Every structure is written in C-alpha cells, then in structure tokens.
Amino acid sequence: MSDEELFDIYDEELRHLGTATRAETHAKGYWHRSFHCWLAHRDGDRQLVRFQLRQLVKDTNPGCFDITVAGHLTAGETLRDAIRELEEEIGVTADFDELLPLGQIREEDEGTVNGKLFIDREVSDVFALVRDVPLTALRLQPEEVAGVYEAEIAELLALFDGKQEELLAHGIELTDEPMETGAPDSSGAIGLRPSTRVVRASLFVPRDNRYYIDVMKKLLQLV
C-alpha cells in the first residue's frame, strides 16, 4: 500500500477523468473502482464465510473486520487484473472465471485517520469464491491483513439483520512467533497463530447493512 499508487478517477457519472495518486484520490474524494471477493465454503452442514481483520496501519477503517479480500484497481487495471488481490492479501491463487458475481455497489465515506482527512468514493464489483482452503494454508500480507476469521453465513446474516448481537469467530492472526506446529512447512503455518474473537456488526467496516445482508443471502444460495 502506497500513497503514490495511481488510480483511474471518475466523475459521478463514471466518466473517466484521468489518474491521481491514492493520497490525492482520498483527499479530494474522486470516484474510483475497487474489487471485493468473499471466500466461502461448506463444512458438512455448515456454510462458512471468511472475513479479514484490517491492519492498524490502513489509511481507512484500520482495525476493522472486512471483506475477505478487497482492493483498489490501479490505473489501467481491469477487473480480471484485480484478482491478483486474492494472492497478494491471503495467498490464494484463482482464475477470474472461478469467481461468482454478486453485484456492484457505490459507497461514500469520509473521516479522519491519523490526523488526515479522507473522502472515499468507490464503485465496487463484488464476487464470491467458493473453495475450501485451510486457514493455516493462508499467507497473509502483513501490510494489509492482520488476521482472517470465519463464521457461519447464517449467523453473520443474523448479526447484520439485527437479530443477533454478537458471535464467536475462529481464525488465524499474524504473529512474530511460529505456531505450535514448529518449523515452517508447505502449509504456510509459520507466522500464524489460532485466534478467537467476539464479533459484532459495529466492528466491521461501516457500510449500509443492506450490503452485508445482500451478500450473506446470496452466499447462502451458492455454498
């Protein structure tokens, strides 16, 4: 993540205006594009979805729970190119044609992080990847992702629908120490530790709850 990343920027009608750095885009509130991907799988009768814990150094919504993988399209990138985010953030390689489209949303947010004002205006294409990947096989990008957790899709739906106050989610987080399994191996377990957290809707990146509700309903039909 760099403030000098270049984004394609747009007006409200999504007419291309040119390019701007990440810092300028968020300072001036230019519209730009992003990619969302939710990693989900079935374990027996359980339908599960993964979500990430954002690093505290993020320039927007640090330390919040978020989509499994999400990222901006840099200047000149297409959605097909954006699938790189899966491998970069969590170490999962996939073909674009494996992704299942869940829709497109527009989001506007503003606030202050580390004393800097930001205005975030994004058009995001949302996808699902249905694949069973062991949590310990994930390789987390330290600059972006502090941890990855999973919960039953129906429970998360109830959380965002206001029918459930909280849930316990199990996952993995980055650590300076190896897991109890010891030396590094092909599983990627080194540098990760098991973790359990109490999860509430208020701990996720602030969005219209209808976004999360819509995604969870669609995932229940796919997994």
Residue 110 has pLDDT above 90, yes or no: no
- Residue 132's domain is classified under what CATH number? 3.90.79.10
Assigned domain for 94 exists: yes
Q: What is the pLDDT of residues 211-221, one digit of tens each?
A: 999 999 999 99
Domain range for residue 79? 6-222
Q: Count CA atoms within 13 Å of residue 96 on its CB side.
A: 9
Cβ-contact 19, 25 below 8 angstroms: no
| pTM of the complete model | 0.87
Assigned domain for 146 exists: yes
CA distance 174 to 177: 9
Backbone angles phi, psi at 199, to 5 degrees: -115, 130
CA distance 90 to 201: 23
Assigned domain for 1 exists: no
Residue 190 has pLDDT above 80, yes or no: no
Alpha helices by DSSP H, listed for 76-171, are 79-82, 84-90, 153-160
The number of distinct structural domains making up the chain is: 1
Share of the chain above pLDDT 70, in %: 92
Cβ-contact 190, 183 below 8 angstroms: yes
